Amino acid sequence: MSMMIRQDAQMDLFDINSFEGPTKYVAMDCEMVGVGPRGRRQQLGRVSIVNYYGHVLYDTCVKPREKVTNYRTHVSGLTREKIENGKDFKTAQKDVKNILKGKILIGHSLTNDLKVLHFHQQFRMYDTQKYAPFRTYNKGQLPGLKTLAFKIRNIDIQEGMHDSVEDARVAMRLFVFHRLELEKMNITFDKINHILKQMKKQGRIFDYIEKNSTLYCKITMNENYVSVKKASDLTKLLLKTKWVIPMDLLTRFTYSQHQN
């Protein structure tokens, strides 16, 4: 990936004098290749993981389980030679799983990365694409990593081929520089789960499931079910029904869980 970086921003992405080993927070990014007719379906072609300071913990090209029909070289930077010399999918998947065990995962649009890795378990993670305040940089829509890198850190990335190591570093830097805000706005899944369980015992919650940062639940009101798709909507409904619970916990619900 070609990068145009301010000299004083170079250290934003990578501090060569910092700790090189595994850290509590790790960032991951994947590059995909196309398989099937016209290469329309995605499979993993490269996966990179960096630690809190930007040091590479893992970086490998991956042989997809199906024949590659589009290497997407102009975007992914991947070629037939790189893929053929990469690790088989199962090995890479196992390696990544072991690295992520017990860690807090950082990334941008992590749902896509976890999908191509075929991970169905839940991870504690922060997805910079889904952090609500960042949407102001893209007219209220989900922002791209390139947009955030330039508007927040004044760094130009993805000018041509992408590099999963650099993209992982950018996602980590965005998290690091906004960590206090992210963690302040974040509540754990266990905490929100506890609140909802207590409400369910009182007959208000019929069913709920949290998926990809969105809270889905149904609340019984006068024997009618009311569908709520966002935590903010749930808060409004609870206020309307005068339920006394920590409303700020629900309005600040930004914790992301991956679950298929």
Query: Domain ranges in the chain?
Result: 4-184, 189-251
Q: Is the pLDDT of residue 166 over 50?
A: yes
Helix, coil or strand: residue 253: coil
Distance (Å, rounded) from C-alpha 82 to C-alpha 84? 6
pLDDT average, residue stretch 66-95: 95
Name the pLDDT band for 16 (thresholds 50, 70, 90). Answer: confident
Distance (Å, rounded) from C-alpha 120 to C-alpha 115? 8
pLDDT average, residue stretch 83-91: 97
What digits encode the pLDDT tens for the residues 96-128? 999 999 999 999 989 899 999 999 877 888 888
Q: Is the pLDDT of residue 209 over 60?
A: no
Between 161 and 167, residue with greater pLDDT: 167
Q: Is the pLDDT of residue 1 over 60?
A: no
Q: Is the pLDDT of residue 231 over 60?
A: no
Between 210 and 66, residue with greater pLDDT: 66
Distance (Å, rounded) from C-alpha 117 to C-alpha 164? 14
Distance (Å, rounded) from C-alpha 47 to C-alpha 59? 6
> What is 4-184's CATH superfamily?
Ribonuclease H-like superfamily/Ribonuclease H (3.30.420.10)
Q: What is the pLDDT of residue 57?
A: 98
Residue 222 CB-density burial (10 A; 0-12 exposed, 13-18 middle, 19+ buried) = exposed
For the chain, what percent of residues have pLDDT higher than 90?
39
Q: Is the pLDDT of residue 55 over 80?
A: yes
